[in-house]
A = this chain, B = another copy of it.
Amino acid sequence: AQSSVTVYGLLDMYMQYGKGDGTQTQIQSGGPQGSRLGFKGTEELGNGLKALFQLEMGINADTGASGQGGLAFGRQAYVGLSSNELGTLTLGRQYTPQFVTVDSYDAFATGTGSVAASGVVSAIARANNAVVYASPSLSGFTFTGMASLGESSTAGQKSFGNLYSASVNYAAGPFSAALSTILQKRSATTGEDAKYALVSSAYDFGTLKLYGLYQIVRNQGTVEANDRREAMFGVNVPVSAQGTVAGALGGSRISGVDGGSASQFSLGYLHNLSKRTRVYAIASRINNSSAATYTTTSATGDGPVNTVGGQDVKALMLGVRHAF
């Protein structure tokens, strides 16, 4: 009884046999893709102008809770206007351009097995109170910029909590490449700003697609930390009409902190039963240096429990994803 809204989503559930602090069997939500329920739509306004919106809830289907710490629409919530010539302007809770770039150049698309999902490669997924501008494609180039406001009213601290992110992407046939950056203003008076800068590229040979990404990070996330250099490489190989093999290798090197570095290797096979339904098997291994405690993770943030520095993590995931 309604034509202006599309209800959509997907459920992705898997069994995981993992080893961290100990061996562990888990039923998890959100493997290659986070389980979600969404509502979206567009309206043509004439003259190449349209209105658009999207509301997307993350779902921890293993427990019935909503994801992203219990938010109603923690994945995305925005509204905006789009012009064929001028680009798209949206307001709300949105993905950072940096995260979208990492996701696009990740053979595991920031899902389970991804070097970025485990945090070995750093990304800030979403930001509140955000304005995002996305340009139309200009000779293969697209630009995306975000300003997310901390909304401080305190004198001398007006920019605290603000986050800025931008990316430039270039695509020409099988080749694509991107530059992306984040500047996150500290909300505390003493902390230094977090800064991310990455370069990435991909090439689709038809028989396989290769991905590479290199990132320099200062004061990662919301805590003041030492410099990090991160890299990840990936490959997607279509092995049949229905099946794809994915592989990824990545690592981070932290200067100034002894034993904070880690590396990860993942291999997966995804088999499409239909366009909407897929089964998969993914194996991932993280080698933690003496002080690192990275673990593979689901979209709900649960992986094999790993609290002891230097302990390696292994995980085998068998699952199903159904989109609707």
Contact = CB atoms under 8 A, between A and B. Distances in A.
A152 B166 CA distance: 41
B22 A153 contact: yes
Interface of A: 1-9, 11-15, 20-29, 35, 37, 39, 41, 43, 45, 49, 51-53, 55, 57, 59, 61-66, 68, 70-81, 91-93, 126, 128-131, 149, 151-155, 158, 273-274, 276-277, 279, 302, 304-305, 319-322, 324
B64 A22 contact: no
A130 B25 CA distance: 12
Contact of A51 (B1, B27, B62, B274): B274
A2 B11 contact: no
A276 B7 contact: no
B149 A81 contact: no
A129 to B, nearest CB: 4
A13 B305 contact: no
A192 to B, nearest CB: 23
22 contacts: A1-B5, A7-B7, A15-B91, A22-B155, A25-B151, A27-B151, A29-B92, A37-B55, A45-B277, A51-B322, A59-B77, A61-B77, A62-B77, A62-B91, A64-B76, A64-B77, A64-B92, A64-B126, A64-B128, A65-B72, A66-B71, A70-B70
Contact of A322 (B21, B79, B128): B79
Contacts of A304: 153
Given A27-B91, A91-B27, A128 B62 contact: yes
Given A5-B9, A11-B92, 4 more contacts: A37-B39, A53-B324, A63-B71, A64-B126
B276 A4 contact: yes
Nearest to A8: B2
For the complex of A and B, the 8 pairs showing the least CB-CB separation, nearest first, are A11-B79, A66-B72, A27-B129, A13-B91, A24-B153, A51-B277, A64-B93, A22-B153
Contacts of A73: 59, 61, 64, 66
Contacts of A152: 24
A299 B73 CA distance: 17
A6 B2 contact: yes
A25 B322 CA distance: 42
Contacts of A21: 153-154
A129 B274 contact: no
Contacts of A9: 5, 39, 55
Contacts of A12: 79
A128 B93 CA distance: 29
B5 A5 contact: no
Nearest to A93: B64
A320 B80 contact: yes
Given A43-B277, A66-B72, A55 B51 contact: no
Contact of A79 (B55, B61, B76): B61
Given A61-B77, A61-B93, A4 B324 contact: yes
Contact of A5 (B7, B15, B65): B7
